[in-house]
Amino acid sequence: MLLKEIAPKHLFFILLLLVTSNTNAFSALPNNAVHLSQYHNRRVITTIRMTRAKQSSSSGTKSASKNTTKMKSNNVRWAIRGIAGEILHNVFLRQISRARKYLGTSKQQRLEEAKKVRLPIKNETALITGATGGIGSKMAHELAFRGYDVIIAARNADLGKDLVLDIQRELENSSSSTIKGTKQTPNISFMEYHADIHLSALDVASKLAVLNETKPLTVLINNAGIMGKAEQLSMKVNLLGPVTLTLALLPLMMKNCNDDKKNVKIINVSSSAHLRATGVFDEEDLRSSSKSLMNIFPDTKDEDLSTYAKSKLALLQFSTLLRHKLPKDNKIQVFDAHPGLVWTPLLRNHIGDKATNTLQKTGLASLIYKSPTEGSRALLAALDHPAGTSEEQLYFVNGQPGGFASPESRDLQQSQQLLDRLIAPELEGIVELPDGW
Ligand SMILES: NC(=O)c1ccc[n+]([C@@H]2O[C@H](COP(=O)([O-])OP(=O)(O)OC[C@H]3O[C@@H](n4cnc5c(N)ncnc54)[C@H](OP(=O)(O)O)[C@@H]3O)[C@@H](O)[C@H]2O)c1
C-alpha cells in the first residue's frame, strides 16, 4: 500500500535500482522518452521535445539525433552522479556521521552544542535573496549568528518582516549566555526584491550603496529559485534575476575588496539538476535571427523540469564567466553550491500533498532529505573556504568543495554565447556590462 502510494511520485527509488543493477537500463527506453523528471516525479517518463527535430532538414535530423543521445547520457550522468550520490549521502553518510557524533559525545557535551553560539559582530553585510524560503530563511539565521548584518531580500514583505523579528528574537535570547566582550547584535533588515523584475535589483543596489558606507557588503547569496513553474519565468527568476542583481552590486563589491581589503564572496545556489542539461540552447536556436533567445522559453509549465535544469546550468555558466572576466587581482570569490536534497516547499509543492503526507508520516522524509538547516549549512560551507583555490574547488555539493559540475557548465564558449545571446540583450538599458565583457 505504502509503496503503491509513493512509487509513482518517487521514481528515484526505481531509478536507483536500475542504476545500481544495470547502468544500461536507460538504453531500453524508447528514444524519445528519456527525460526522467527531476528528483522523484511525475508519471515516470515524460516525452522530450522532439517536434523541432522532426521538422528539421537531414543535417538537422543528424544533429537532433546527436542531441537525443547526449540527453540520454546526461540523464544517466545526473541519475548516477546527482541523485544516487545524494541519496547515498543523505541516507547513509549523513546518518553514520550523526551516529558517530552521538556516540563520541557525552550528554552534557550534546546539550552544550545544541545551544546556538553567536559570534561577535563583523561589521560586514550579507544579502540573501529568497530568504523567506526553506533553505534561505535558515541561511539568514546562520549568517546572523556568524555576526553578519543580514539583508533579507524577498518578495513577500509580511514574511520578510516576520523573519526579521524572528531572528532578532533569537539573537537577543542567545546573547547573554554566549556572547563574550560585546552586547551588540547584528542588524537584520528586509528589502523587497523580485527576481523576475530587473528594476527591483537596481532598487536593492541603490539602497545598498547607502548602507555600504558603514557596513560593507561582503556576501551575496543568490538563492531565490523556482522549479516546475512557467518556463520563461523560471529563466527570469533562476538566471536573469541573479545576474542582474550581481551586476548591479558588482561595482560596490569590487570597491569593498579594494578599499577595505575585504574578502567578498558570491554564492550562486545551483542544483545537481544542471547535469541533465546538454546546453541552454541548441545549434538551431543559435542560428535564429532574433536578438534575444529568451523567447525560446515559452510561458507554458516546465512539466519535465528541463528548463529548471537549463536555468541552473546557465547560472553555473554565469559563475564561470564571472571568474574569467573579473580582474585577476580582485578578491571576489565566486562559488556555486548545491545543497543536496532538502525538504522544502520547492520540493513539496512539486511532489504534491499526498506524497508529502506519506513521506512525513512514515518518517521517510527526514531519512531521505536534509532539513532546511542542514541544507543551509551545506551552502554556507563555501564561506569558510580559503581564498585563491582552483576553479574545481569552487563548486560545493553537500557542503564539500570540488563537487562534480558538468563540463558544459565550465565551457567558456557556451558561457559567452549565453551572455551574448540571452543575457546582454535582456539587460540592455537596465544594467551596464563591465568593460571587456
Ligand atoms: N530543496 C532542494 O532540494 C534543492 C535542491 C537543489 C537546489 N535547490 C535550490 O535552492 C534554492 C532555495 O530553494 P528552497 O528549496 O529553499 O525553495 P523554497 O522554499 O521554495 O524557497 C525559494 C525562495 O525563492 C523565492 N522566490 C521565488 N520566486 C521569486 C521571485 N520572483 N522573486 C523573489 N524571490 C522569489 C521564494 O519566495 P516566496 O516564498 O515568496 O515564494 C522563496 O523564498 C533554490 O534556488 C533551489 O533551486 C533546492
Domain range list for the chain: 2-104, 119-427
Distance in angstroms (rounded) separating the CA atoms of residues 319 and 334? 6
Q: Is 338 in the pocket of ligand 1 (CB under 6 A)?
A: yes
Q: Rounded to 5 degrees, what angle do the CA atoms 303, 304, 307 make?
A: 90
Backbone angles phi and psi of 418, in degrees to 5: -60, -45
Q: Is 155 in the pocket of ligand 1 (CB under 6 A)?
A: yes
CA 345 to ligand 1 center in whole angstroms: 8
Q: Which residue has the cell 536573469?
A: 240
Position 28 scores a pLDDT of 28
Q: Is 403 in the pocket of ligand 1 (CB under 6 A)?
A: no
In the chain, the amino acid numbered 328 is K
Position 179 scores a pLDDT of 56
Q: Rounded to 5 degrees, what angle do the CA atoms 333, 207, 312 make?
A: 40
Grid cell of 280 as nine digits: 541552454
Position 129 scores a pLDDT of 98
Position 246 scores a pLDDT of 98
Grid cell of 427 as nine digits: 539587460
Burial class (CB in 10 A: 0-12, 13-18, 19+), 135: buried
Grid cell of 243 as nine digits: 545576474
Distance in angstroms (rounded) separating the CA atoms of residues 426 and 422? 6
Position 76 scores a pLDDT of 84
Pocket test for ligand 1, best of 344, 376, 395 (most atoms within 8 A of CB): 344
Which residue from 75, 149, 93, 74 is spatially nearest to 368, judged by alpha carbons? Answer: 93
Position 175 scores a pLDDT of 59
pLDDT < 50 regions, the chain = 1-57
Distance in angstroms (rounded) separating the CA atoms of residues 158 and 247? 28
Position 73 scores a pLDDT of 83
Position 99 scores a pLDDT of 80
Kindly give the number of the ligand 1 atom that is closest to the alpha carbon of 200. 32
Kindly give the number of the ligand 1 atom that is closest to the alpha carbon of 270. 7
Beta bridge partners, 221, equal: 128, 267
Task: Identify the helix (H) or strand (E) that includes residue 283.
Answer: helix 283-287
Buried b (16+ CB within 10 A) or exposed e, 324-353: ebbeeeebbbbbbbbbbbbbbebbbebbee
Position 60 scores a pLDDT of 56
Distance in angstroms (rounded) separating the CA atoms of residues 79 and 130? 27
Contact (CB, 8 A) for 265 and 170: no
Q: What is the largest CA-CA distance in the chain?
A: 74
Position 224 scores a pLDDT of 98
The residue contributing the CA closest to ligand 1 atom 36 is 130
Distance in angstroms (rounded) separating the CA atoms of residues 240 and 237? 6
Q: Is 341 in the pocket of ligand 1 (CB under 6 A)?
A: yes
Position 61 scores a pLDDT of 63
Q: Please give the CATH superfamily to which domain 119-427 belongs.
A: NAD(P)-binding Rossmann-like Domain (3.40.50.720)
Backbone angles phi and psi of 153, in degrees to 5: -100, 110
Position 436 scores a pLDDT of 86
CA 255 to ligand 1 center in whole angstroms: 29
For the entire predicted model, the pTM comes to 0.86
Position 150 scores a pLDDT of 98
Distance in angstroms (rounded) separating the CA atoms of residues 148 and 187? 8
Beta bridge partners, 53, equal: none
CA 100 to ligand 1 center in whole angstroms: 32
Q: Is 196 in the pocket of ligand 1 (CB under 6 A)?
A: yes
Position 271 scores a pLDDT of 96
Distance in angstroms (rounded) separating the CA atoms of residues 136 and 402? 23
Position 162 scores a pLDDT of 98
Q: Which residue has the cell 545524494?
A: 86
Beta bridge partners, 265, equal: 219, 333
Contact (CB, 8 A) for 215 and 182: no
Task: Identify the helix (H) or strand (E) that includes residue 110.
Answer: helix 107-114
Distance in angstroms (rounded) separating the CA atoms of residues 251 and 264? 12
- DSSP, res 301: B
Contact (CB, 8 A) for 238 and 307: no
In the chain, the amino acid numbered 272 is S
Grid cell of 354 as nine digits: 499526498
CA 224 to ligand 1 center in whole angstroms: 5
